[in-house]
Structure 1
Amino acid sequence: MSPARALPPPDFEPASAHPEFGWLRQAAAASDWASVRGYVDSLPPGTDRSFVSSVIAEVDGVEHALRAWVAAAPGDVLALTLLGAREINIGWGIRTAARASKVSREQFEAFHEHLRRAEQLLIRATAIDPAYDAAWSERLNTARGLQLGQHEARRRYDRLSEHHPSHFTAQARLLQQLCPKWSGSWEAAHGFAQECMLGAPEGAMSAGLVAEAHVEHALDLRDDRERTAYLRQSHVHAELVEAARRSVLHPRFRRPYGWVTVQGSFAVLFSMIGDKAQAAAHFHALNGLASEYPWSYFGEKAETYTRHRAAALSHT
C-alpha cells in the first residue's frame, strides 16, 4: 500500500484545527457568556475576532439565550454582535446556498426577515463601538443578503479597515460580494484580491484571497473541462504560486483562524492544474485537516480531498 493510500480520511471538524471552537460551542450552549467575554477580551490586539461570532452562530437554539441577554443589556456590543450573527446564520440556513432562481419566495421572505433583524442589532453595535471588527464583518453579510449594493458593501468594508487593515474575514466576505453571482464582476473580484495581497504584510492570510477568487471563478464555469482550461492558463498558475508564497507558505505565517480553508483552496487549485509538487506542499501542511469550502463545491468532499491528495502525494 502506498503512503498516500495509507493516510486516514480527511478531518472536517473545525475544532481539530482550532480546539477553542469546541470550548466556545460548549460555553454558548450553557449560556456562559462571562467566559465567552473573558475569552474575547483575552485575544491579542489585531486578532480577527469574527471567528467567535461565526462559531457561536452555528450553535442550535442559542438565539433564545442571546435574545434574553440583549434584552437585559441592550448596549452590550458583544451580545448584539453574537445575536446578529446568529440571526444571519438562521436566515442563510433558510435561504440555502442555492442560486436565487432555486430559492422560493417564502424562503426569501424568511431569509430577509432574519437579516433585517440582524442589521438592526449590528447597526447598534457599530454605533456604540465603531471599531468593533466582528460587527462590521457581519454587516458585510447583511449587505450582501439584503442586496444593498456594491458601494454600500465597500463602504462597510472601508469603515472596518480603518481600524483593522488586512482583516481576512471581512476581505473574504467582500470578495463574495464582488463576484458576478452577487452583481459584481470577475475584474472587480480579482482586482480586489490582488489589492489585498499587495497591501498586506507577507505571511498574512490576505494573499489567500487570490486563491479564493480563482476557486469562485472556476466554480462559475460550466464543466470540468472549462474549469481545467481556465486554471491551466499560465497567468493563473503564476498568480497562485505568488499568493501561496506570500501567505500560507511564508516563514512568518502563523495559522490563524481560516487557514485550513485557504490552504485547501491552494491544494485543490494546484491539483486541478496538475502541479502535483505545489499541491503536495499544501496537503503536507494540512496534514489531513479539511474544511467544507472548497472541497464540497467540487464533488463529494471526502472523496474529492482523498483523490487529489493521493495524486499529489504520489509525486513525492
Structure 2
Amino acid sequence: MSFASGTALPPPDFEIASAFPEVTWLRQAAAAGDLEALRGYFHGLPPGTDQAFAVGVVGEVEGVEHALRARVEAVPDDVLCLTLLGSRETEIGWAARTAARAEHVSREQFAAFHGHLRTAEQYLIRATALDPAADAAWAARLNTARGLQLGQNEARRRYRQLAKHHPHHFTGQARLLQQLCPKWSGTWEDAHGFARECMLTAPEGALNGGLVAEVHLEHWLELDAGQQRAEYLRQPHVHTELVESAGRSVAHPHFTRVPGWVVVEGTYAALFSLMGDTARAAHHFRALGNLASEYPWSYLGKPAEEYAKHRDAALARG
C-alpha cells in the first residue's frame, strides 16, 4: 500500500492475517480440531521454513488442546501434535501469568504458569527426542526454558541443538536474544554480541539482521525515560548499526516478506522515528503500508496511538 499526499492515513491494522492470509485458514482448521488438515499444511511447507510461526498461530486457538490431547494419547510419537500441544500449553501458561512484571504477578498466577510450562516441556522433550531436527519444538523449548527460569546455559544448549539443523532460525534466535537480555539475567554485552553474530552469519536479505534493531530497542527500554533514553539513541554507533542491519535485512534487494517481517519493519520504523531520522522512518512506514504488530509499539505506549503518531509525523517530513 502507498499513501497519496494529502489523503487521510488509514488506522494501523494489527491483524496478522492481513499480512499472511493463510492464518485465517489455520485458525479455522485448529478451531475445528481438523488435525489432518493441519498436518497437510505443515507437510506442504517448503524445506527450511521457520515452522514456529504457524505453530504459534495454532497454539493461540482456544480449545485446540482437546483434539491434540486426544491425538497424543492415542499416538504418543506424533511429533507435529506433540509440538502443537506443547505450544498450546505454553500459550495457556503465559496467559495465566500475564505480561506484567514479576512483582505484579500473584503466587497463584505463577503456579498456573509453571504448571502449564512443565506440561509443555514433557510434550516438547518427547518431540525433539523423536525428531532432533524439529525446529518449532526446539524454538518452543526456548520459551519454556525462559519461563521456567532454567538459566542461560540451558537456553544456549537448546539453541545449539536447534542451530545444528537450522543455523539461521529467526524465531529461535529472537527467543534466545530475549534470554540474553538483563531482564532475564543476561548481559547487554552478550545480547548485542549475539544479535550482531546472527546478522553477519545469515544470508543478506534475511530477517536476522533485525535482531540488531530488537536489542537496541530492548536496551533503550531498560533506561530511565527521558534524558537517558534520548542520549542512548544519540550515540553515533547506534544509528550506524541500525542503518547497517536494515541494509542487510528488510532494506536489502533480496529481502522477501516472510513471517516476522512486519515486526522487524516496525522496529526500524520506531527506532529511526525516535532518534529523529524521519527519512529512514518514512521508508519503513511506507513498506508497512498500514500493517502493524503490537511489538514494538506497545513499548512506546498505546500501540495504535503510537504507531499513528510516529507514522504520520515521519511521512509528513520524510
TM-score of the superposed pair, with normalisation by structure 2: 0.97
The amino acid across from 1:272 in the alignment is L
Q: Look up the match of 1:299.
A: 301
In structure 2, the residue matched to 1:44 is 46
Closer, same or farther: CA 4–70 of 1 in aligned 2, 3 Å: farther
In the alignment, the residues of structure 2 paired with residue 59 and residue 227 of structure 1 have an alpha-carbon distance, to the nearest angstrom, of: 37
Map of 1:103 onto structure 2: 105
**Counterpart for residue 142 of structure 1:** 144
Q: Measure the CA separation in 2 of the matches of 1:273 and 1:202.
A: 25
Aligned to 1:241: 243
Alignment of 1:89-168 (within 5 A): 89-168=91-170
1:112: Cα distance to partner?
Answer: 0.4
CA RMSD of aligned residues (A): 1.1
SS in 2 for 1:89: helix
Correspondence for 1:290 among 289, 292, 316: 292
Matches within 5 A, 1:25-40: 25-40=27-42
Query: Which residue of 1 is the match for residue 173 of structure 2?
Result: 171
Corresponding position of 1:196: 198
Rounded Cα–Cα distance in structure 2 between residues aligned with 1:181 and 1:190: 14
Superposition map of 1:257-296 within 5 A:
257-296=259-298
Q: Which one-letter code corresponds to 2:123 in the other structure? A: L
Q: Distance in 2 between matches of 1:11 and 1:52?
A: 20
Q: State the Cα deviation string for residues 92-125 of structure 1 (Å, max 9, x = none).
A: 0111111111111111111000000000100000
Match of 1:225 among 213, 224, 227: 227
Maintained 8 Å contact 1:91/1:112: yes
Work out the CA distance in 2 between the residues paired with 1:170 and 1:222: 29
1:244 to 1:71, Cα distance in 2 relative to 1, 3 A? same
Tell me whether 1:308 sits opposite 2:276 in the alignment.
no
- Compute the displacement of 1:49 (Å): 0.4
Residues 223-232 or 205-214, more deviating: 223-232
User: Is the Cα–Cα contact under 8 Å of residues 261 and 291 in structure 1 kept in the other structure?
Assistant: yes
Match of 2:65?
63
| Residues 11-33 of structure 1, C-alpha deviations (whole Å, 9 max, x = no match) | 00000001111110000001111
CA deviations 1:205-254 (Å, max 9, x no partner) are 10000001011111111213322221121100000000000000001101
In the alignment of these two chains, the number of paired residues is 315
Alpha-carbon distance between aligned partners in 2 of 1:46 and 1:17, rounded to the nearest angstrom: 21
Partners of 2:278 and 2:95 in 1: CA distance: 36
Unaligned 5+ runs, structure 2: none
Residue in 2 that maps onto 1:211 = 213
Amino acid aligned to 2:179: Q
Percent of pairs with identical residues: 68
Question: Does the 8 A contact of 1:77 with 1:125 survive in 2?
Answer: yes
One-letter amino acid of the structure 2 residue matched with residue 61 of structure 1: G
Does 2:85 match 1:83?
yes
Match of 2:75 among 73, 76, 90: 73
Task: Measure, in 1, the Cα distance between the counterparts of 2:64 and 2:52.
Answer: 17
Structure 1 gaps of 5+ residues are none
Q: Which amino acid aligns with 1:217?
A: H
CA distance in 2, matches of 1:255, 1:29: 27
| TM-score between both structures, scaled by the size of structure 1 | 0.98
Aligned equivalents of 1:161, 1:224: Cα separation in 2: 39
How far 1:5 sits from its partner (Å)? 6.2
Q: Partners of 1:88 and 1:225 in 2: how far apart?
A: 38
What CA distance in whole angstroms lies between the structure 1 residues aligned with 2:229 and 2:45? 40
Secondary structure (helix, strand or coil) at the match of 2:317 reads coil
Residue 305 of structure 1 and its aligned partner are, at CA, apart by 0.5
**Which aligned runs of 4 or more in structure 1 are off by greater than 2 angstroms?**
2-5
2: CA distance, partners of 1:232 / 1:277: 16
CA shift at 1:3, angstroms?
A: 3.3
Counterpart CA distance in 2 for 1:275 and 1:166 is 30
- Choose 190-199 or 219-228, whichever is displaced more: 219-228
Equivalent position of 1:186 in the other structure? 188
CA contact (8 A) 1:4 1:314 kept: no
